C-alpha cells in the first residue's frame, strides 16, 4: 500500500484545478503585459482571479499581489517593510517557518533591524503579556504565523493583530498552512500582510499571493517590469494564478465537508497511536482537536536506537511522512521548532498530515506500521 501523509509539505492537485489550468498552457498563452488580444485575454483572466481571491478574503482586489509562493511573499513583506517603513525592531517567535526566521535573522545580522523573540510556553503558546511588553518599547514589525507547519499550533491572530495595532506596530502573518482550512476575513483582521501558497490547498506549486493592506505602503522586493501594479517585476504565471484561484474557490466551497472528514482522520490516528504505542506523546498542541490544525499530528516517540531510521523504514512500507518541517527534509539538523520547545532530542518525532483524499484505512495502516517499528 502507498500512503501519503505529508500534506503539510504539499498536497496533490485537485482534478478541478488541473482542468481549469489546462487552457492556459495550450490555448490562452498570451503574455498579460502585451497589448494585443492574446495579452488582453491573459490580463483579464488574472484580474478575474484576483477578484475571486479578494472576495473570498473579504478585501479589495487592489490588496492582492501574486507571487511565486509563500517564501517570496514572506520575504517581500519582511524585507520591504523594514526598508520602507523606517522600522528598527522586529518581533517573532522561534517557532516560525524558516521563510520568516531566516529572513529576519539575516536582516538582524546586517544590522538593519533589532530582532526580538516573544516567549512561548512548553506547548508553543505565545505569551501575550510578553508580546505586549515588547511592543511598548517602540513601533515594531511583528511576524507570527496563524498555524504552525510542524506542530499545528494555532495562534489567535485576531488578538495578536489587535495588540500590535494598539501599539502602532505592523503585523505580518504567514497564513500558508491555515489558508483554505479556516476563513480569513481581512476586513476584520488587523493585519498588514498575510500570505498564501497554492500547493498547500490542492493547487500548483510555484504560485502564491501576498495581501498588503492598502494603508501600508512599501517598495517592491523584486524589481523589473511594471507587473502587479509596479509591486512585483516578472511575467505573471497565468496558469498558476488560475490554479490558485480555483483551489481557493474549492477550498472555501468544501471547507466544512473537508474539516469534518480530516478531523475524523486525526482523531482516529490519535486514538490508534495512544492505544498501540506505549510512551507516545504529541508535540506542541498537535494532540488537541481544538488548539491545533485539524490536519496535523506531530507524535513524540520513546528514545530508541532506531529513531534515526524511522522515516526510512516507514518509506520502505510505502508511507510518506515527515520528521518535521518539509523544508528541513534531508538535513541532519533537527527541528528548530521542537528544539525551541525543549523536546528531548533523543525522542523520535514524526509529523503526519492529512488531506481530503486521505482514507481511514490508510491512517490505520500507518499506525500499525509505526507500532510495529516501535515494538
Q: What's this model's pTM, rounded to 2 decimal places? A: 0.95
Query: Quick one: pLDDT at residue 324?
Result: 52
Domain spanning 3-12+255-374: CATH 3.90.1150.10: yes
Query: Quick one: pLDDT at residue 334?
Result: 80
The contacts of residue 27 (CB under 8 Å, 6+ apart) are none
Rg (CA), the chain: 21
In the chain (375 residues long), the average pLDDT of successive 10-residue segments reads 97 98 96 96 98 98 98 98 95 98 97 97 97 91 98 98 97 98 98 98 98 97 95 97 98 98 98 96 97 97 86 96 56 81 91 98 98 91
* CA torsion through residues 142, 9, 180, 265, sign: negative
**327 carries an active-site annotation:** yes
Residue 229 and residue 42 in contact, taking contact as beta carbons nearer than 8 Å: no
Kindly report, residue by residue over 354-365, the tens digit of the pLDDT: 999 999 999 999
Backbone φ and ψ for 266, nearest 5 degrees, come out as: -60, -45
Catalytic residue among 49, 79, 207, 327: 327
CA separation (Å) from 99 to 122, 143, 152, 163?
Answer: 23, 11, 17, 24
**CATH number, span 15-253:** 3.40.640.10
- Report angle CA 228, 327, 256 to the nearest 5 degrees: 70
Residue 201 and residue 209 in contact, taking contact as beta carbons nearer than 8 Å: no
- Could you check whether 3-12+255-374 and 15-253 share the same CATH topology? no
Element (H, E) at 320: strand 319-320
Residue 64 pairs in a beta bridge with: 211
Ranges of each domain in the chain: 3-12+255-374, 15-253
Amino acid at each position: 500500500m502507498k500512503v501519503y501523509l505529508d500534506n503539510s509539505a504539499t498536497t496533490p492537485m485537485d482534478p478541478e484545478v488541473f482542468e481549469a489550468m489546462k487552457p492556459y498552457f495550450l490555448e490562452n498563452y498570451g503574455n498579460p503585459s502585451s497589448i494585443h488580444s492574446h495579452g488582453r485575454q491573459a490580463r483579464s483572466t488574472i484580474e478575474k482571479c484576483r477578484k475571486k481571491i479578494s472576495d473570498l478574503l473579504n478585501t479589495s482586489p487592489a490588496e492582492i499581489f501574486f507571487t511565486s509562493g509563500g517564501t517570496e511573499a514572506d520575504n517581500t513583506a519582511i524585507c520591504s517593510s523594514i526598508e520602507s517603513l523606517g522600522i528598527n525592531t522586529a518581533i517573532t517567535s522561534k517557532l516560525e517557518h524558516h521563510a520568516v526566521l531566516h529572513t529576519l535573522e539575516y536582516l538582524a545580522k546586517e544590522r538593519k533591524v533589532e530582532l526580538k523573540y516573544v516567549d512561548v510556553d512548553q506547548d508553543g503558546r505565545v505569551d501575550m503579556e510578553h508580546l505586549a511588553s515588547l511592543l511598548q518599547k517602540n513601533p515594531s514589525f511583528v511576524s507570527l504565523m496563524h498555524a504552525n507547519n510542524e506542530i499545528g499550533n494555532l495562534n489567535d491572530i485576531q488578538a495578536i493583530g489587535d495588540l500590535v495595532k494598539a501599539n502602532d506596530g505592523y503585523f505580518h502573518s504567514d497564513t500558508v498552512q491555515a489558508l483554505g482550512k479556516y476563513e480569513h476575513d481581512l476586513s476584520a483582521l488587523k493585519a498588514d500582510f498575510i500570505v498564501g501558497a497554492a500547493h498547500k490547498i490542492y493547487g500548483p506549486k510555484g504560485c502564491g499571493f501576498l495581501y498588503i493592506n492598502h494603508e501600508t505602503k512599501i517598495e517592491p522586493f523584486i524589481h523589473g517590469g511594471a507587473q502587479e501594479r509596479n509591486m512585483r517585476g516578472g511575467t505573471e504565471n497565468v496558469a498558476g494564478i488560475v490554479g490558485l484561484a480555483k483551489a481557493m474557490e474549492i477550498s472555501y466551497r468544501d471547507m466544512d465537508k473537508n474539516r469534518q472528514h480530516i478531523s475524523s482522520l486525526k482523531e482516529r490516528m490519535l486514538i490508534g497511536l495512544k492505544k498501540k504505542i506505549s510512551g507516545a506523546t504529541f508535540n506542541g498542541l498537535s494532540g488537541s482537536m481544538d488548539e491545533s490544525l485539524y490536519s496535523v499530528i506531530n507524535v513524540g516517540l520513546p528514545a530508541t536506537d532506531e529513531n534515526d531510521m524511522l522515516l526510512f523504514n516507514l518509506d520502505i512500507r510505502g508511507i510518506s511522512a515527515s520528521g518535521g518541517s518539509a523544508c528541513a527534509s534531508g538535513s541532519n539538523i533537527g527541528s528548530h521548532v521542537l528544539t525551541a520547545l525543549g523536546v528531548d532530542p533523543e525522542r523520535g518525532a514524526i509529523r503526519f498530515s492529512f488531506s481530503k483524499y486521505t482514507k481511514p484505512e490508510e491512517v490505520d495502516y500507518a499506525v500499525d506500521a509505526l507500532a510495529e517499528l516501535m515494538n
